[in-house]
Structure 1
């Protein structure tokens, strides 16, 4: 494997937190997300000669991560693990703070969205990609991304019964996350 030049290596390392956040949102599990990020970086490093200098490195990395996630999802689609959720329910510790409950409500609502809408919303609203960059990552038209984000925001607003900013939670982090989702 060829070693990337220092500036490219630094850019790869700088992308790790955003990749990890996106991976966690896709998988819902920190361990699986960390594995996905690691696989993404390994794939990127082994194919670094295919990266076109001067293009968006983050978009390239997010595309790799997304493709790896979907490949893994197709493989795991037929696996059945704790189908009724009873085992997972026994492992949960009930949160003690309202903000945590709000965040869990948000995560639950987010998980009910169709995968394409959730993915578009996370790329644009949470990861800060432009509509154009998100469209490139997902391999679709800009209008498609805009439509998916709009439908996702509308659906989340409906599920969470958000009528105004006062419904967006008590702490600034929860408010920021919900504001990004509600547009």
Structure 2
């Protein structure tokens, strides 16, 4: 028998957070396969370092921080490994939506994808994933006031791009 505490409850909680991790990964990558790879890499890092997680702290914030750091590390590595033009990929086939709400939802997600990364990630964390300002500040490594400012600016940018007026 070992005296080391079991990590099974934490591992089970990690599994329940996978949908939130996928949503956050999509907000960073904006492509499903890349997002899935990022989630997988995040889970691999988290589970292989689960003993470093401090019980009593926020597991969700810990995982999101691992994901965010992994994503930015990937960007740095990819910038050094560029081999050709980014526009060499064939155009994707698309089908126009038949319902107004699908069209507007698509426009919104495209507008969110065009936001600068720091605005997009705070908007996704707070508005779409329901993270608190405090946890978002912790994940993004900034102050709460900065998070609030980024969300306000992101909302304003989206409203302007979508041609909506603020009442």
TM class by smaller structure: 0.7 to 0.9
CA deviation string 1:18-44 (max 9, x = no partner): 000111121111111111101001100
Structure 1 position 83 matched with structure 2 position 80: no
SS in 2 for 1:77: helix
- The aligned residue for residue 45 of structure 1 is 47
Structure 1 position 7 matched with structure 2 position 9: yes
- Residues 11 and 47 of structure 2 are in contact (CA less than 8 Å); yes or no, is this contact kept in structure 1? no
- Residues 4 and 45 of structure 1 are in contact (CA less than 8 Å); yes or no, is this contact kept in structure 2? no
- Residues 4 and 48 of structure 1 are in contact (CA less than 8 Å); yes or no, is this contact kept in structure 2? no
Structure 2, unmatched stretches of 5+, are none
What is the aligned-residue RMSD (CA, Å)? Answer: 2.2
Structure 1 Cα separation of the partners of residues 76 and 103 of structure 2? 31
- The aligned residue for residue 64 of structure 2 is 62
SS in 1 for 2:87: coil
Q: CA deviation at 1:164?
A: 6.6
Q: What's the TM-score, normalizing by structure 2?
A: 0.87
Summarize the Cα distance change of 1:93–1:4 in structure 2 as closer, same or farther, 3 Å threshold.
Answer: farther
Structure 2 Cα separation of the partners of residues 4 and 28 of structure 1? 36
Q: CA deviation at 1:57?
A: 0.1
1:114 to 94, 111, 116: 116
- Residues 159 and 166 of structure 2 are in contact (CA less than 8 Å); yes or no, is this contact kept in structure 1? no
The count of aligned residue pairs is 162
Q: What's the TM-score, normalizing by structure 1?
A: 0.80
SS in 1 for 2:17: helix
Structure 1, unmatched stretches of 5+, are 166-183
- Residues 136 and 147 of structure 2 are in contact (CA less than 8 Å); yes or no, is this contact kept in structure 1? yes
